[in-house]
Amino acid sequence: MKLRLDKYLADMGLGTRSEVKKAITRGLTEVNGAVVKKPECKVDTETDEIRYQGRPVGYIAYEYYMLNKPAGVISATEDPRQRTVIDLITSRQRDDLFPLGRLDKDTEGLLLITNDGALAHRLLSPKKHVDKVYYARIQGVVTAADAEAFAVGLDIGDEKRTLPAKLDILESGEISKIRVTIREGRFHQVKRMFQAVGKEVIYLKRLQMGSLKLDENLETGAYRELTKEELEALC
């Protein structure tokens, strides 16, 4: 792939376009061993060797990270006051990463961080109906009648009822434990579905999105790159 030299460097998080342009014109960049001072110089991401301030800079078109999101962190790319999920990806090389889908601030679990817009569309498009699996603790006794209501679809105050969802009751009691599979991504959907049957979600964690399952060995707040097999399954 051919790119302008300034875009190549900016994509790799070495500064804004204006910052890297200044560095290039000052002679701080080499292409295949020769100093290049023109930001508009086209380079081949696969064959050209780029050095910036004496250090080699390889090009990575896409990055894919699985994050076990902790509570208290927002699903955003940047925020002046609060820590974001992107802040947790300290080894990232690109500066255009975003969370694929949102988790509420107090929700934990699986979040995919990438810069692949095409993959985001495939997984998030309302027409795709990608399964999302959550574990939750519920204030109140969850019953078979609730599972039946979830299976039919619920009125949660939107224009349309929710699509049928699968509610598995793991433990029923004053604090019930459940697993629920939904095929949409409406705002606060799981919480609102339980509100519709007169109960309250007190803990929520996403376990799976499509074929991607949360790595059980990934501690809360930790992340890792997707494996080749995980990425192929998603694509």
The two structure tokens encoding residue 45: 């991401």
Query: Of 87, 104, 106, 168, which is the active-site residue?
Result: 104
Between strands 132-139 and 200-209, the pairing is antiparallel
Centroid of chain to Cα 220: 15
pLDDT at res. 121: 92
Pick from 114, 109, 130: which is nearest to 185 by CA? 130
Looking at the chain, the whole-number percentage of residues with pLDDT higher than 70 is 100
pLDDT at res. 127: 84
User: What gap in Å lies between CA 164 and CA 71, rounded to an integer?
Assistant: 28
State the pLDDT confidence band at 226, using cuts at 50, 70 and 90: very high
pLDDT at res. 126: 81
User: What gap in Å lies between CA 72 and CA 98, rounded to an integer?
Assistant: 18
- The per-residue pLDDT for range 109-165, each reduced to its tens digit, is 999 999 999 999 999 988 889 999 999 999 999 999 999 999 999 999 999 999 999
What is the average pLDDT across 79-86? 96
Q: What stretch of H or E contains 58? A: none
pTM to 2 decimals? 0.87
pLDDT at res. 113: 98
In contact, 20 and 39? CB cutoff 8 Å: yes
What is the average pLDDT across 57-70? 96
Common-topology check for domains 64-126+212-234 and 132-209: yes
Q: What is the CATH number of domain 64-126+212-234?
A: 3.30.70.580
In contact, 10 and 23? CB cutoff 8 Å: no
Decide if pLDDT at 7 tops 90: yes
Pick from 193, 195, 126, 200: which is nearest to 161 by CA? 193
Its CATH architecture, for the domain 2-56, is Roll (3.10)
Looking at the chain, the whole-number percentage of residues with pLDDT higher than 90 is 93
Helix%, strand%, coil% for the chain, nearest 5:
20, 30, 50
What is the average pLDDT across 55-80? 96
**What phi and psi values does residue 155 have, to the nearest 5 degrees?**
-85, 110
User: How many Cβ atoms sit within 10 Å of the Cβ of residue 48?
Assistant: 16
Pick from 172, 163, 167, 133: which is nearest to 147 by CA? 167
What is the average pLDDT across 22-29? 97
Among 9-13, 50-54, 135-139, 173-177, the least confident range: 9-13
215: annotated active-site residue: no
Fold of 132-209: Alpha-Beta Plaits (3.30.70)
Domain boundaries, the chain: 2-56, 64-126+212-234, 132-209
